[in-house]
Structure 1
């Protein structure tokens, strides 16, 4: 009989382990079902945010197109720049607002230098005044924007290559000799 008890006891232990495994499997199935619901909700939220972003991009593009049309209409009243240039020749009464914002900021830095009683400044100092790093690439970018301003009379370029605030009339192309 001891042999029969031992077999029954082993079968009982296996049945207990099987029951525990069944309970664990059912618990995991419930957890997987819950995670599937959470995943579905997250996917829906992701889709909604993607659609919102796409709608915003389309709205901004439409707004930019309208703004471009308005600015083109406004440009008809602004003097036309020198061909191939965004910097028109300076003349008395021409506002700084005809220049691109980068050019306006450059002139602003030079005006600040002049009001601080500083003389001509190097392109490196202008770059620093614009809040740029004084790396060779940034300095050269500032220099390349300052030269057209000097060539068209918006600022003065010294023989040393330094720049200072000041205006001088420049003859426009095909306008004949300036007096």
Structure 2
């Protein structure tokens, strides 16, 4: 008899454990379903952002090509801030550094405050970037764009100064 009671309580214990395991499995399945739905939503956001970024890059490339083919295109008026695409307008009378994107404005202001022409490696730490090769080269590219657009001059290779404004 004792053996039958022991078997009965063992079976009962196993059934209780099985029921508890079933509850845990069901809870995990609900969590998996919720996470799967969230994952799909985030994948959709990622795909939309990727397409948007690629489209913007294509448009900017096309605009760049049009600027080169058609010459300077004035897109920014005095006092208007451009948010989004980084655009450096050609300098003209009455245009202030306020129309430039932040990093370009910082570069022009640092160069304007200097007592002599500056190199990219001198400018980088003054605009709050680490003086590493990538940041120096990126800043050099921005300096060249500012020269092309009439904001700065490069009197000697690699040395930048404010463009004279007596023209």
Q: Is this a same-fold pair by TM over 0.5?
A: yes
After TM superposition, the structure 1 stretch with the greater mean CA deviation from structure 2, 56-65 or 131-140, is: 131-140
| CA distance in 2 between partners of 1:158 and 1:71 (Å) | 26
Higher RCO (CA-CA < 8 Å; seq separation 6+): 1
Q: What is the RMSD computed on CA atoms of the aligned residues?
A: 5.1
| CA distance in 2 between partners of 1:51 and 1:103 (Å) | 34
Q: CA deviation at 1:60?
A: 2.7
Q: Which has more radius of gyration?
A: 1
Contact 2:103–2:127 (CA<8 Å) still a contact in 1? no
Do residues 9 (structure 1) and 2 (structure 2) align? yes
Question: What corresponds to 2:45 in structure 1?
Answer: 52
Where does the alignment leave 5 or more consecutive residues of structure 1 unmatched? 1-7, 80-91, 169-179
Matching of residues 96-135 of structure 1 within 5 Å: 106-113=107-114, 118-119=115-116, 124-134=121-131
Where does the alignment leave 5 or more consecutive residues of structure 2 unmatched? 73-92
Deviations 1:3-58 (A, max 9, x none): xxxxx123212311221211211221232123123212311221221122112211
| CA distance in 2 between partners of 1:70 and 1:35 (Å) | 52
Structure 2 vs 1, CA of residues 32 and 166 (structure 1 numbering), >3 Å: closer, same or farther? closer
TM-score (normalizing by structure 2)? 0.55
TM-score (normalizing by structure 1)? 0.52
Structure 2 vs 1, CA of residues 136 and 27 (structure 1 numbering), >3 Å: closer, same or farther? closer
